[in-house]
Structures are given as C-alpha cells and as structure tokens.
C-alpha cells in the first residue's frame, strides 16, 4: 500500500479519485485552495473533469448538473464560499442528488480571517440553506481520514442520494501527514432509474418543485424518514481512554487532536480524562452522548473553535441529565492542551 | 374530420385553443376566424372557415399551444395516421 | 436529414438568416419533441401548457420541439430550465430534464455537457434569469465556449413573479417595480445581451430574432435549428435571443404585443445574426474518464511504491520530536520541515507537519511545526517545542521563549549575532546559511539544517537521508541532488565536529 506524506487537502482529492469521483468543480479560497489545485493536477490524468468555476455559486450548480447526470462529483470551499453555496446545496438535497462538499473551515463572520475555526458547524450540520433538509457531515481529524472519509462520503452520498459534507478546519486541511492510499473503489451504484444521461432510457427529470402542498409535505416526510434512517445507521465516533474516564472531553476536527494530547498529559498526571470524538456530526451521536451520565463521570467539557455551536448539540443529547461545560478558542486560535488542562482543573478540581 | 375534405386544411382543437388570435393575424388568406362560441375554459376559440387554406403553416408556427393546431398539407396521405 | 440543414455560409460574408430550408412535410402537428401527455404538470389539464394566451414561450417551445424531432435528437437532448415562466419547461419536452436554480442554467449545463459529451444540451432562460441574477453564469459559459444551445427569451419583464422590471426592460417602460417608467438614471439601460456575448471570442453563433410576425418567426425557426445543430455537432456555444410577447405582463393583447415588439423592442434590440463561425469552429472533444481500478492504481503508481526498510535508531538522543522551524520566507523553512517529516515517515515514525499559512507568510516570516514520534500524534501545532531551528533573529526571540527545559535550540549563526537567553536548553549555533553559500547555493540551507538536525537528535542517519534525496527532489537535475547531498553531510559533520552529541 503506497504511503505518501501529504496535506489533508490533497488527501481529500486522492480519496475522491479512488472513490471514482468523475468531476471536480470549485473556486479558490484559503485555506481550501489546495483541494482545487491538486484536483486540477490530478483529475486530468484520469481523463476526469476539473473546472474552475466562475463563482462558488456556479461551482455548486455545476455539481448539481454533474450529479444529475449520475456522476460522482465533488466541490470544496471554506466558510464564505459555503455560505454562497447554500442555495445550491438545498437544491441538491431537494432533488435528492448525491454530492460531496469539502469545507475547510476558517475564521468568521464576514471575511473574518483564514485561520482555523469551527464556526461553520451550524450552517453545515443544521442544513444551512432553505427548507427542511440535512447534510450528512463527516469530520476527519487527520490527513488519513481526509482520504478515507472522503471515500466514505461518496458511498453515503450515493446510498442516501444526499449531499455529504467532509467538514474540517484549516489545521487538518493544511497539515501534512503520512497517508496510506487505500484500494480504489471497484463497484459503483446503478443510477439508471434517475440519472439523466442523454439517452432514450434516461429521459428522467431532476427537480425539486412540488407545487401541490400535499405533494411537498409528502416529499418532506420522505426526506425526514431518510434522515431518521441515517441517524439510526450511520453514527461514527472515536473513543479514547473512555473506559475508566471520570472526566470526558468532547471535540471534533483539530480540537479533538489537541484533546488527545490533553488526555495523554492528564493520564501521565493521574487524571482520568477521556476523549469522545464525534466522527459524524450529522448523524450526531445522540444516544452515545446520552449514555455518558450513566457512567458516573464527574464532568463533560466540550472544546470547540466556535462559540458553543457544538456544545448545544451535546447538551441536547444529554437531555438535562448533565450539562456540558464549554471551552472555546476563536479567530484562528487553536486551544492548547495546557490551557484545556487548566480549564479542567478549574472546573472539576483535579 | 371528414374524409372528403380537401387538403390542405388546418384542424384546430377548440378545447385547447386559448383564443389569442395570433393564427388569425398570421393567416394570409384570412380563412381563420374567432368563434362566437366559448370553449370549456371560457375562451373564444379560433375556427377554420372550411375552405381557402393554402397550407402555408403560419397558423401552426404562430400558435403557442403545442397541440392546438394541426395542418394537413397538400401531399398528406391519411394512411400515415395510425 | 441533410434536407433540414441550412446551407453553410462563410463567416467572411455578413451572416444572415437566408437559406431557409423547405423540407417536405405533409402534416404540421404537435412535434414529437413534446411529451404526449404532460404527466409532470399537476392538476387536471395535462393536455395544454401553463402559458398565458399569446405568450411567446409556446411558439419557441414548438420550434425547439420540432427541430429535435426533425433532427432525430429528442432522445439525446437534455433541457435545463431555471426559474421564470419557463421554469416548467420540463412539463413539455420529451427529453432529459433538469430544473435548476434561478440564473444557474449555464453553470448546470456546463457540467451536464461535460458529463454527457454526446448529448445536446439546451439552456432555456428568460431575461431576469439570464441577464440579471445569472448574468455572470451566462458570460462565463459563453466565454468557455461550452457546447450548448442557449435560448434566451427576452420579453423585457419578469413574467412569473408578476411583471417586475427586467434587465431588458425598456427606457420609460412601466412595470410593477418601475411604476413611473424605467428611469435610466436610477435603473440603468436595457442590457443588450447578444452584443455583450459578442465580445467573447469563443461563441460560435449569436443571433437575435423576434416573434413579432410570421417572417420573423420563420427566421427564429432557422436560428433555433442552427443552434441545435451546432450543439449536436459539438461546435460549442450558441445563443439565440428571442424577442417575445408577454401579453399579461405588458397588459396588452397578443396582437398589440407583437406590434409593441416591432415598434418598441426592435429599435432597442436590433435583429440579426451577430456571429456565425460554426463552420470553422473545431469540434469539442472531451476525454473518457479512467474508472478501471487497476488503471487508476497504475496512474497513481501503486506498483512503484516500496515499503521502507530503514531501521530506527533506538539509541537516539531525542526520540520524540516537537520542532518549530522558523525564519524569513524564502529561507526554506517549509521545506526543512517537510523533508524532516518525510524522512521520519520513511523511518516508520508517526509524523505531522503544519505550516503557518496565509498573510503571515506574505508578511515575510514563516514557521512550521513538525512532530516525529512513535505514538499517535495528537495536536499538530507545536506549542511547547523540545527543539527549534531559528533561521533569523526574530524567530530565535519568538520561539526560544516557548521551549521546554532540556530541549535543543539550533540557530543560524550566520545571520543571528545575538546569544539565546535560555540557559536551560542545549544550544547549537550553526552557520547554516554560510555553509550553504560555501556549497554554492543559499537554497541548500534547508538540507544543511536537516543534516544538523540528524546529528543533534541522532534520530536519522545522514547516509539514509542521502539515499532518500532523489525521491525527495524528484525531477531535479543531478547537480542539484548532489549539492543537497553535500549539504546534509556538511550540516551533520559540522555538529558532530563542534559539539558533543
């Protein structure tokens, strides 16, 4: 198995090609630009489409078009670009079009800055565009996972005919690590009953309009049912030192990497700290978090690079049995293990 | 339609016609008129007066409704219709 | 089929609509480009359109459907309908259909055309859609010369939303959002789309026609057929702007509306073929995607990868590296870190490399974090380094402060003439830049640093680094490889000769 040192952003593109992604449509934005750059270098080698779109809006609509034609297709961006794409993502969800969107989060609001933040959580995990829909959201925390979870994203997108986000922050996108390239995907789903291919048999309709109120309600109920199925079947989490943990930290993306360091240091000092990392943000590990209070733990600390967007979901999952504390850093600052441990000491007296 | 009719001639679906009169204006022989009758949608529809069509196709091409106007041209052979 | 083709004209002559084909038809009936029963249309009326009496959309629809039938293209055509009155075009055409967001049809069509290069892709758009909200998308698709036929219905008004001002609304024209008439001083002038598209190099066919009377409807028919044939022949981008009646929006009857086009619109939007270079245009060819897994692996070079056999040095001085490399942009800061991470990976360690990115880099300083260790790496940002490589004075000042006691501090003594203030770390003053210059190229200073790093930590054997150089600098001339090899050894030897390690 080939092992290469590469940035998380590159790894996502390797994963896309191995997953059989036929087209990449994107627009440059820091800290996600290497995705478009590496796609522009790699996709043509495989006779696949790379096109630098005129705008973020155009890019997601190109994704809509390619997906409507049955292609595995991807785009990538960061905060402001994701905001612009939201209408198109809503169209993809409304038309049941599978697609993969990589979001390398940066600081906001507005132009903010290009440092790492996790403040797209709400706009990605909660839907973001208009209408009742959900994105499946995978949150890698390493270059290897940027590759692996991008491949998984394509599988889930096709399985549920739904947009799938690979959501991470500038640190994971920009960081280089060793990546073991997996085997390419060998089997692709049959989309002949809905994809438009320019043939007699494929004269289908890709559409999100339901003029009749009952029809639209029915369609929304179908989507709702789909999201329930996803919630039931697709939750992924990573637990580290959780078996005997007395204090649990929760985080995803680069904060979960820092939390891992914090756990290691805490354990060296005899503090029973554990890490609970949601890998899927939608579906959110609601049941798994709901069980935490039953394990007799002293406290839960959610660490995020946003002002409580993640902890809201943690606390919803806890259903009032416990309340998670929050430690956040913003503006491009990444929390350090030292400051997290100081916070834990302050909160829980350890 | 009557088999004895002389080609060419137009057939206007009185129920589909929305009475916009574009065909009446476009007919060089002025053999289309607006009916005094109303169709089920409440439109005064267009009618062929019964003779004088030269098969120019103007009514067909100016009609915005895909299936409101059919024009059987001079060389039309009825067997073609199945 | 040939009988339907227009006689080709050289573009050297002024393009025009002459040469109307007179194909032999014996009946003019609802073309097969239309669906027989409009099954997607809600409600009971599945045999008629949703368009108002006298609306031009139906006429243009018919011309398109007829051409698709005549050219035997119904099955391979894909029609993109965005937002506007033609949002429901998919009710009618017996083709593949994508309903899309407002203004985005050209972007969607660009991808559809690339996904299905043998199909005929049609973008059917109104004036608000194409020239206002989708203004950029149409320009860019035209400029890329996407293989598609764009049919642009210009009726100088927003029909679907109830008669608001469009970008093509005429000077003084009253709409529901210009109740006092379009005022050019506040609302600007009507946009002439054909003339705008004609400024781009790529489009092959640009024409403006009108539905004002039979002569012009027949000219429209020619233009429609031309654009569709261009898409079929993969000639690229064709745009047909059609001046069209909106009796409801204009509050006129059908015939008054045709008259209004003639008297008011045509003077502002002159009719004619603005460009026809489809004859000379090269056919657009798209590559066939490689999807076979074995072929994919071959292109990625899976077979060429060899698992590393380098043995770790269990006697290393420092076995867990948390390093910050820092200096001016251009001092090879990033590449020092990347080479160290690469070598660490070849040794079988877990490694991570994290750059400072963005404006900080452009501000002239650069730094990166490198971790090399046996265990899984947590945080990749090194906040408490046990080693730093400082290539300039600001870097030394900034990063020596955050070092943990007992760490290794290497600084570039060629450029830094102050002493480190820390006395609880091991100090290595190494003339990194100077040694690189001695080798003949300042740029090899990163490899001098790498060699010195190997000596200080004992983690890497310089001979192993040298064997990795050809793959680390793949594609570089032998001279460069040689110089980098020398740089590693020079850095390594300097440390072993001048310090007890």
Q: Distance, in angstroms, between C92 CA and closest chain A CA?
A: 11
Q: Three-state SS string across C376-434, please?
A: CCCCCCCCCCCEEEECCHHHHHHHHCCCCCCCEEEEECCCCCCCCCCCCCEEEEECHHH
CB–CB of C380 and A175 under 8 A? yes
Strands (E), A13-85: 23-26, 49-52, 73-77
pLDDT of res. B80: 54
Q: Distance, in angstroms, between B14 CA and closest chain C CA?
A: 12
pLDDT of res. C9: 43
Architecture of domain C52-276: 3-Layer(aba) Sandwich (3.40)
CB–CB of C97 and A54 under 8 A? no
CB-based contacts of C356, cutoff 8 Å, min separation 6: C365, C366, C367, C368
Average pLDDT over residues C207-215: 98
CB–CB of B72 and C27 under 8 A? yes
Share of chain A above pLDDT 70, in %: 100
Tokens of C347: 């040794």
Q: Which of C27, C53, C217 lies at the smallest CB-CB distance from B61?
A: C217
Q: Which of B26, B43, B72 lies at the smallest CB-CB distance from C214?
A: B26
Share of chain C above pLDDT 70, in %: 94
β-bridge mates for residue C425, sequence order: none
Mutate to test the interface with C, among A176, A193, A194, A209 (most CBs of C within 10 A): A176
Residue of A nearest to C354 (CA): A175
The sheet with strand A247-250 has its strands ordered as A237-240, A273-278, A247-250, A299-304, A325-328
The tokens 């080798």 sit on which residue? C439
CB–CB of A203 and C97 under 8 A? yes
Tally the C-alpha atoms within 13 A of residue B33's C-alpha that lie toward its C-beta: 8
CB–CB of C49 and B77 under 8 A? no
Residue of C nearest to B42 (CA): C53
Q: Which of A58, A68, A114 lies at the smallest CB-CB distance from C137?
A: A58
> DSSP assignment, residue C223?
H
Q: Distance, in angstroms, between C241 CA and closest chain B CA?
A: 17
Chain C residues lying within 8 Å of A261, measured CB to CB: 378-379
Q: Measured between CB atoms, does A55 come within 8 Å of chain C?
A: yes
Helix (H, G, I), strand (E, B) or coil at A110: coil
pLDDT higher than 80, residue C268: yes
Peptide bond into B8 cis (omega under 30): yes
Strands A247-250 and A299-304: parallel
Residues A28-59 have pLDDT tens digits of: 999 999 999 999 999 999 999 999 999 999 99
Domain C306-498's class? alpha beta
CB–CB of A178 and C351 under 8 A? yes
pLDDT of res. C2: 36
Tell me the residue length of chain C: 501
Burial of A3 by CB count in 10 Å (0-12 exposed, 13-18 middle, 19+ buried)?
middle
Residues C23-34 have pLDDT tens digits of: 689 999 999 999
Q: What domain count does chain B have? A: 1
Tally the C-alpha atoms within 13 A of residue C46's C-alpha that lie toward its C-beta: 10
Q: How far apart are CA C153 and CA C239, in angstroms?
A: 11
pLDDT of res. C16: 65
Q: What is the CA radius of gyration of chain C?
A: 35
Q: What is the CA radius of gyration of chain A?
A: 20
pLDDT higher than 60, residue B62: yes
Q: How far apart are CA A47 and CA A21, in angstroms?
A: 11
Residue of B nearest to C34 (CA): B66
pLDDT of res. B4: 53
pLDDT higher than 80, residue C67: yes
pLDDT of res. C4: 38
Q: Is chain C touching chain B, with at least 3 CB–CB pairs below 8 Å?
A: yes
Q: Measured between CB atoms, does C495 come within 8 Å of chain B?
A: no
Q: Which of A22, A171, A200 lies at the smallest CB-CB distance from C289?
A: A22
Residues A174-196 have pLDDT tens digits of: 999 999 999 999 999 999 999 99
Q: Distance, in angstroms, between A55 CA and closest chain C CA?
A: 9
Q: Distance, in angstroms, between B23 CA and closest chain C CA?
A: 10
pLDDT of res. B5: 67
Tokens of C411: 């600084």
The tokens 């010369």 sit on which residue? C145
Average pLDDT over residues C211-227: 98
pLDDT higher than 60, residue C362: no
Residues A280-322 have pLDDT tens digits of: 999 999 999 999 999 999 999 999 999 999 999 999 999 999 9
Interface size between B and C, measured as CB pairs under 8 A: 95
Average pLDDT over residues C478-493: 97
Residues A92-120 have pLDDT tens digits of: 999 999 999 999 999 999 999 999 999 99
Chains contacting B (3+ CB pairs below 8 angstroms): C
pLDDT higher than 80, residue C363: no
pLDDT higher than 50, residue C8: no
Chains contacting A (3+ CB pairs below 8 angstroms): C
Q: Which domains, ranges and CATH numbers included, belong to chain A? A: 3-233 (3.40.50.970), 238-348 (3.40.50.920)
Write the CATH number for B34.
Answer: 3.30.70.20
Give C 206-245 residues with CB within 8 A of chain B: 213-214, 217-218, 221
Strands A23-26 and A49-52: parallel
Average pLDDT over residues A70-76: 98
pLDDT higher than 50, residue C11: no
pLDDT of res. B6: 81
Q: Measured between CB atoms, does A225 come within 8 Å of chain C?
A: no
Tally the C-alpha atoms within 13 A of residue C340's C-alpha that lie toward its C-beta: 37
pLDDT of res. A30: 93
pLDDT of res. C407: 97
pLDDT of res. C306: 87
Residue of C nearest to A188 (CA): C291
pLDDT of res. C158: 95
Q: Distance, in angstroms, between C58 CA and closest chain B CA?
A: 4
Residue of C nearest to A29 (CA): C358
| Structure-model confidence comparison of residues C467 and C307, the more confident one | C467
Residues C415-425 have pLDDT tens digits of: 999 999 999 99
Q: Which of C112, C286, C353 lies at the smallest CB-CB distance from A175?
A: C353
Q: Which of C97, C140, C289 lies at the smallest CB-CB distance from A46?
A: C289
Q: Give the pLDDT band (50/70/90) at residue C317.
A: confident
**Per-chain mean pLDDT for chain B:** 91
β-bridge mates for residue C366, sequence order: C327
Mutate to test the interface with C, among B12, B14, B20, B68 (most CBs of C within 10 A): B20
Q: What is the CA radius of gyration of chain B?
A: 12
Q: Measured between CB atoms, does C255 come within 8 Å of chain B?
A: yes
Q: What are the start and end residues of each CATH 3.40.50.970 domain in chain C? A: 52-276
β-bridge mates for residue A23, sequence order: A49, A73
What ipTM is given for this predicted complex? 0.97
CB–CB of B61 and C63 under 8 A? yes
Give A 122-161 residues with CB within 8 A of chain C: none
β-bridge mates for residue C121, sequence order: C78
Q: Measured between CB atoms, does C24 come within 8 Å of chain B?
A: yes
Q: How far apart are CA C466 and CA C339, in angstroms?
A: 11
Residues C31-51 have pLDDT tens digits of: 999 999 999 999 999 999 999
CB–CB of B66 and C58 under 8 A? yes
Q: What are the start and end residues of each CATH 3.40.920.10 domain in chain C? A: 306-498
Q: Which domain holds residue B40?
A: 9-74
Share of chain C above pLDDT 90, in %: 90
Q: Which of C30, C51, C253 lies at the smallest CB-CB distance from B64?
A: C51
Q: Is chain A touching chain C, with at least 3 CB–CB pairs below 8 Å?
A: yes
pLDDT of res. C329: 85
pLDDT of res. C19: 41
CB–CB of C47 and B67 under 8 A? yes
pLDDT of res. C391: 97
Q: How far apart are CA B41 and CA B43, in angstroms?
A: 6
Q: Which of C101, C111, C116 lies at the smallest CB-CB distance from A91?
A: C101
């Amino acid at each position: 198995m080939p092992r290469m040192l590469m940035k998380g952003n590159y790894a996502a593109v390797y994963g896309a090609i191995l997953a059989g992604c036929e087209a990449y449509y994107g627009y440059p934005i820091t800290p996600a630009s290497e995705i478009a750059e590496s796609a522009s270098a790699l996709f043509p080698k495989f006779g696949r489409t790379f096109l630098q779109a005129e705008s973020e809006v155009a890019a997601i609509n190109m994704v809509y078009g390619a997906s409507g034609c049955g292609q595995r297709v991807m785009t990538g961006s960061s905060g402001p670009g994701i905001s612009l794409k939201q209408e198109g993502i809503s169209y993809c969800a409304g038309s049941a079009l599978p697609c993969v969107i990589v979001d390398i989060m940066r600081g906001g609001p507005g132009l903010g800055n290009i440092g790492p933040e996790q403040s797209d959580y709400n706009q990605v995990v909660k839907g973001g565009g208009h209408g009742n829909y959900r994105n499946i959201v995978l949150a890698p925390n390493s270059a290897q996972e940027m590759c692996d979870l991008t491949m998984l994203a394509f599988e889930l997108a096709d399985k549920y005919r739904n947009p799938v986000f690979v959501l991470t922050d500038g640190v994971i996108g920009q960081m280089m690590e060793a990546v073991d390239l997996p085997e390419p995907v060998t089997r692709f789903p049959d989309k002949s009953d809905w994809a438009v291919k320019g043939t007699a048999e494929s004269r289908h309709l890709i559409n999100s309009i339901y003029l009749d109120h009952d029809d639209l309600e029915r369609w929304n109920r179908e989507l709702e049912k789909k999201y329930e199925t996803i919630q039931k079947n697709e939750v992924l989490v990573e637990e580290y030192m959780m078996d005997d943990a007395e204090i649990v930290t929760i985080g995803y993306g680069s904060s979960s990497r820092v939390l891992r360091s914090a756990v290691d240091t805490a354990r060296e000092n005899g503090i029973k700290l554990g890490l609970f990392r949601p890998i899927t943000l939608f579906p959110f590990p609601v049941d798994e978090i709901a069980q935490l209070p039953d394990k007799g733990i002293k406290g839960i600390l959610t660490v995020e690079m946003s002002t409580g967007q993640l902890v809201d979901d943690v606390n919803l999952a806890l259903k009032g049995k416990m309340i998670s504390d929050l430690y956040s850093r913003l503006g491009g600052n990444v929390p350090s293990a030292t400051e997290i441990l100081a916070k834990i000491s302050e909160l829980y007296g350890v | 339609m009557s088999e004895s009719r002389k080609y060419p001639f137009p057939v206007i679906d009185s129920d589909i016609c929305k009475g916009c009169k574009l065909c009446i204006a476009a007919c060089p022989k002025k053999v289309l008129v607006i009916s005094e009758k109303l169709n089920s949608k409440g439109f005064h529809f267009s009618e062929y007066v019964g003779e004088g069509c030269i098969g120019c196709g103007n009514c067909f091409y100016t009609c915005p409704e895909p299936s409101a106007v059919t024009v059987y041209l001079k060389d039309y052979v009825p067997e073609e219709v199945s | 089929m040939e009988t339907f083709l227009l006689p080709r004209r050289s573009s050297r002559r002024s393009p025009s609509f002459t040469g109307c084909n007179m194909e032999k038809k014996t009946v003019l009936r609802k073309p097969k480009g239309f669906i027989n029963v409009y099954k997607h249309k809600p409600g009971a009326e599945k045999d008629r359109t949703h368009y108002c009496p006298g609306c031009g959309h139906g006429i243009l629809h018919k011309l398109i459907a007829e051409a698709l039938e005549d050219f035997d293209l119904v099955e391979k055509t894909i029609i993109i309908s965005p937002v506007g009155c033609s949002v429901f075009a998919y009710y009618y055409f017996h083709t593949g259909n994508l309903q899309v967001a407002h203004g985005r049809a050209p972007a969607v069509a660009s991808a559809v055309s690339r996904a299905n290069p043998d199909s005929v892709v049609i973008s059917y758009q109104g004036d608000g859609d194409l020239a206002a909200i989708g203004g950029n998308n149409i320009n860019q698709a035209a400029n890329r010369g996407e293989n598609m036929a764009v049919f642009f219905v210009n009726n100088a008004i927003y029909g679907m939303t109830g008669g608001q001002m469009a970008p093509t609304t005429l000077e003084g024209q009253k709409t529901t959002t210009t109740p006092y008439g379009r005022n050019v001083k506040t609302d600007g002038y009507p946009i002439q789309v054909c003339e705008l598209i004609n400024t781009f190099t790529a489009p092959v066919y640009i024409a403006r026609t009108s539905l004002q009377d039979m002569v012009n409807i027949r000219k429209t028919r020619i233009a429609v057929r031309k654009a569709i044939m261009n898409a079929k022949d993969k000639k690229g981008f064709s745009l047909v702007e059609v001046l069209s009646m909106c009796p409801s929006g204009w509050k006129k009857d059908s015939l008054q509306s045709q008259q209004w086009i003639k008297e008011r619109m045509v003077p502002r939007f002159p009719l004619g073929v603005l460009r026809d270079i489809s004859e000379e245009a090269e056919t657009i060819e798209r590559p066939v995607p490689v999807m076979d897994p074995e072929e994919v692996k071959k292109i990625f070079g899976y077979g060429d990868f060899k698992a590393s056999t380098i043995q770790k040095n269990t006697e290393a001085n420092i076995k867990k590296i948390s390093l910050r490399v820092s200096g001016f942009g251009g001092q090879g800061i990033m590449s020092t870190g990347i080479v160290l991470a690469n070598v660490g990976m070849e040794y079988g360690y877990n490694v991570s490399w994290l750059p400072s990115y963005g404006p900080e880099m452009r501000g002239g300083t650069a730094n990166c974090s490198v971790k090399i260790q046996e265990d899984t790496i947590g945080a990749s940002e090194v906040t408490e380094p046990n080693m730093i490589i400082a290539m300039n004075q600001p870097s030394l000042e900034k990063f020596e402060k955050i070092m943990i006691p007992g760490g290794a501090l290497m600084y570039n003594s060629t450029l830094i003439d102050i002493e480190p203030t820390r006395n609880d770390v091991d100090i290595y003053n190494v003339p990194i830049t100077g040694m690189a210059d001695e080798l003949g190229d300042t740029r090899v200073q990163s490899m001098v640093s790498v060699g010195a790093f190997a000596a200080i930590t004992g983690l890497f054997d310089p001979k192993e680094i040298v064997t990795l150089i050809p793959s680390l600098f793949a594609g570089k001339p032998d001279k460069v490889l040689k110089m980098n090899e020398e740089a590693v050894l020079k850095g390594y030897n300097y440390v072993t000769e001048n310090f007890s390690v």
